[in-house]
């Protein structure tokens, strides 16, 4: 079922090592920022990736989209907004908007994207979160139902 949860914002500053010879953020770093934001989204909602893995649950990426609109540069303040757009017992999908130049007053949209993940067990077999960890499933369901 498609949903639209509240946006969660993860802030960061572009490090020099994340830029390329042209002085802009290398394109693959946005994917790392997506991961950081969704990790912090789960932590914000009471679940750490470590606790998932301790229970033998993993959340690999099975589909990813990304659209580059503008470039970020070294030392820019960045806001990575993330929200859940689909949650089922088997999968979870996130949407991302990355905004830059937080110091300028009007942030510019740099990147948009989505990532789709499937719950798997320690043998990498798809599993239903609602059966193997119903408490975590309920936490996530409550997180996405907080928005009317």
Tell me the per-residue pLDDT of 7-56, one tens digit each, with 9 for 90 and over. 999 999 999 999 999 889 999 999 999 999 999 999 999 999 999 999 99
Is residue 68 domain-resident?
yes
Is residue 47 domain-resident?
yes
| 82 vs 80: CA distance, rounded Å | 6
Is residue 69 domain-resident?
yes
20 is an active site residue:
yes
**CATH number for the domain that contains residue 27:** 3.10.129.10
CB contact at 8 A, 57 and 121: yes
Catalytic residue, chosen from 20, 54, 76, 101, is 20
- Tell me the residue range of the domain where 46 lies: 8-145
CB contact at 8 A, 144 and 5: yes
Tell me the per-residue pLDDT of 107-129, one tens digit each, with 9 for 90 and over. 799 999 999 999 999 999 999 99
């Amino acid at each position: 079922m498609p949903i639209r949860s509240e946006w969660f914002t993860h802030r960061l500053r572009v490090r020099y090592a994340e830029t390329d010879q042209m002085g802009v953020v290398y394109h693959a770093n946005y994917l790392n920022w997506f991961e950081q934001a969704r990790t912090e989204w789960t932590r914000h909602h009471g679940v750490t990736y470590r606790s998932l893995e301790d229970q033998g649950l993993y959340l690999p990426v099975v589909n990813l989209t990304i659209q580059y609109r503008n470039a970020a540069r070294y030392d820019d303040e960045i806001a990575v907004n993330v929200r859940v757009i689909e949650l089922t017992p088997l999968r979870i999908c996130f949407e991302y908007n990355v905004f830059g130049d937080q110091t300028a007053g009007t942030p510019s949209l740099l990147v948009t994207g989505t990532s789709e993940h499937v719950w798997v067990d320690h043998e990498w077999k798809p599993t239903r979160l609602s059966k193997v960890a119903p408490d975590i499933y309920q936490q996530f369901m409550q997180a996405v139902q907080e928005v009317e």
